[in-house]
Amino acid sequence: MRSLDGNNPADIQIAAACLRNGGIGAFPTETVYGLGADALNERAVAKVFAAKERPLADPLIVHIVSRAQLAELAAEIPAAAEALIQRFWPGPLTLVVRATPRVPGIITAGLPTVAIRWPAHPLAQELIRRAGTPIAAPSANRFGRISPTTAGHVREQFSNEIDFVLDGGACQVGVESTILSLAHTPPAILRQGGVPQEQLEQAVGTLANQSHAASERPLAPGGFARHYAPRTKLELADPQQWSGDERTAGVLCFSQPPQRPYAAVEVLAPDGDLCTAAAGLYAAMHRLDALKLSRIVAEPLPEHGLGRAINDRLRRAAAAE
């Protein structure tokens, strides 16, 4: 795996040429680092599934940077989509719409729909522009494990399985995009994420919420019951009330550390801001996981705004294997 500098135009060009020629590599978005391939090249996309050890039943998000690319992938743009595009793109919102025949079946897992996002990260946009093709990119981690928010997190999980990692620093949002299906009536949230449900409903009205559902054949990425998980067993619990031995456990808490002698403590948001908590979630999980603790005790966050997305990740991380 080649390490490339996102501040170096020559390195960005190397990464773009690699993707254009059927290679795969990691790059930053505002949410997490993605593992990208030319979305219209089935062989290249298959390499992403192989590198991640990802089930073929799990569809991918396609990243775009233009209306022309959207038209290439989407069979129709519903009226609700236009309102959302105007308000939230570029940004951490993925829209699920009916796919054109141009979209390979490996991208959609055989479904009639495709998940599309226009990322806000300038380096992601530049890479897609230079590659000259939409980029299919799930998170750049082994399937089911903690998502990466730095290039270092990517390097911890991959070596020669991927061609490059393009380093653009730490991701600002820190949790994956919200996935909203416009193939449902009313539109349905399939995954909570970087755009809170409250903001979406201000734009298009009341939404169905299917983000809690787990399936053997998900309608969107992140739909399996167990996902985003550290190797260390994670439990959702109040750190003050947890019944285990805190001396061998770590704690992941929202804004206040517990008054108990845990072996390690990660406070996500000393300022009490859910945006701060989301931005630091995966990095904190990576740090705790590296300590070889007996348990990670994760405190549930307020169930509103980005707290919904964080709690979704914690519930899936805590699910039984």
What does the pLDDT read at residue 216? 59
Distance between CA atoms of 93 and 60, rounded to whole angstroms?
A: 14
Domain holding 308, by residue range, is: 234-318
Average pLDDT over residues 267-286: 97
Distance between CA atoms of 288 and 251, rounded to whole angstroms?
A: 8
What percent of the chain stands above pLDDT 90? 89
Tell me, yes or no, whether 200 lies in a domain: yes
Residue 19 φ then ψ, to 5°: -65, -40
Indicate whether 207 pLDDT > 80. yes
What percent of the chain stands above pLDDT 70? 97
Beta strands in the chain (DSSP E): 2-5, 25-28, 33-38, 61-63, 93-98, 113-117, 135-136, 164-167, 178-181, 188-191, 208-209, 234-236, 249-253, 264-267, 295-298
**Which residues does 125 contact at the CB level (< 8 Å), separation at least 6?**
65, 90, 119
Q: Identify whether residues 102 and 187 lie together within a single domain.
A: yes
Amino acid at 177: S
What does the pLDDT read at residue 213? 64
Q: What is the pLDDT of residues 3-44, one digit of tens each?
A: 999 999 999 999 999 999 999 999 999 999 999 999 999 999
Q: What is the pLDDT of residues 121-135, one digit of tens each?
A: 999 999 999 999 999
What does the pLDDT read at residue 111? 94
CATH code, domain with 71: 3.90.870.10
Distances (CA, A) of 272 to 87, 255, 264, 311: 26, 5, 20, 15
Last residue of a domain, one of 209, 243, 271: 209
CA atoms lying within 13 Å on the CB side of residue 85: 18
Distance between CA atoms of 306 and 69, rounded to whole angstroms?
A: 29
Both tokens of 275, joined, read 């945006």
Indicate whether 215 pLDDT > 60. no
Q: Identify whether residues 147 and 272 lie together within a single domain.
A: no
Q: Identify whether residues 187 and 278 lie together within a single domain.
A: no
- What does DSSP assign to residue 40? T
Spatial contact of 182 and 115, defined as CB atoms under 8 Å apart: no
CATH code, domain with 292: 3.40.50.11030
Band of residue 227 on the pLDDT scale cut at 50, 70, 90: confident
Tell me, yes or no, whether 221 lies in a domain: no
Q: Identify whether residues 47 and 195 lie together within a single domain.
A: yes
Q: What is the total count of domains within the chain?
A: 2
Q: What is the pLDDT of residues 50-102, one digit of tens each?
A: 999 999 999 999 999 999 999 999 999 988 899 999 999 999 999 999 999 99
